[in-house]
Amino acid sequence: MFSRQLARTIQRNQHYRQFSLTNWFKSWKDAAQSQRLIYPPPASQFTTQNRIIDTYITEKSEVYNYLSVKPPLLLHFTYATKENNKFTQALFDVLSDKSKYPNKEPVYLVNILADSEGGRELMMDYVVGSKIPSIVVLKHQLPSGRYAPDIESFTEQDLVEWLRSI
C-alpha cells in the first residue's frame, strides 16, 4: 500500500513556487492588456441595413432574445485576443460598410464570448468545435452554414466571398 519510503520521496519532490506580490500584479496587468474586447462602430456610421449587437453574449439565455429575427442571424464565437480581434474588426468593417458588404439582404450579428460558461454551452449546442473564431449562420432558427477562417492567412476578401454565399 502506502509506505513511508514513498511518502518521503513525494515530500522531497515537491516543488515550491516563490510568491511575489509584484509578479502577481504584473501578470494580472499583462493578462488585462492582452484580453480586450472590441466593439462595432456606432449605428450612425453604418451604411448598410445590418444590425450588429454591441454586447457580447456570456450566458446561454441571453441569445434567446435574438433567435426570432427574420434576417439571417450570424452567431460569431470569439475570444478576446489580438488575433481574434483582427478577424472581428474585419467582420465589423464589412458588415457596416455598404461598399464592402456583398449582399442586399441584411443580417444580424451576435457576438458570443467563447471562453465564458454560456459561450461554451452555445458552442456545444451549435457544434462549433475547437476552431475559434467561428461563425454559425441561422436561418429561421436552424443552422444553415458555418465559417471558420484561418487566422494566420485570413484576408477581408475571404470574408466577403463567404458572405456572398449566405
Helices (H), 2-131: 4-12, 21-34, 82-96, 117-125
Phi, psi of 96 (to 5 degrees): -100, -15
- The domain 44-164 is placed in CATH, from the list 3.40.640.10, 3.40.30.10, 3.30.70.1520, 3.30.1490.190, at 3.40.30.10
Per-residue DSSP letters for 72-92? Answer: -EEEEEE-SSHHHHHHHHHHH
**Is the model's pLDDT at 138 over the cut of 90?**
yes
Rounded Cα distance between 120 and 113, Å, is 8
Q: pTM of the predicted model, to two decimals?
A: 0.78
Residue 128 to residues 26, 38, 69, 125, 145: CA-CA distances in angstroms? 34, 22, 21, 8, 11
Count, residues in the chain: 166
Q: Which is nearest to 163 in space by CA: 83, 106, 88?
A: 106
pLDDT at 35: 66
Q: Which residues pair with 108 in a beta bridge?
A: 51, 73
Residue 44's identity, in one-letter code, is: S
Q: How confident is the prediction for the chain on average, in pLDDT?
A: 85
Q: Which tens digit of pLDDT belongs to each residue from 89-112?
A: 999 999 999 999 999 999 999 999
The percentage of residues in the chain with a pLDDT greater than 70, rounded to a whole number, is 80
Q: How confident is the model at residue 34 (pLDDT cuts 50, 70, 90)?
A: low
Q: Which tens digit of pLDDT belongs to each residue from 40-89?
A: 888 888 999 999 998 999 999 999 999 988 899 999 999 988 889 999 99
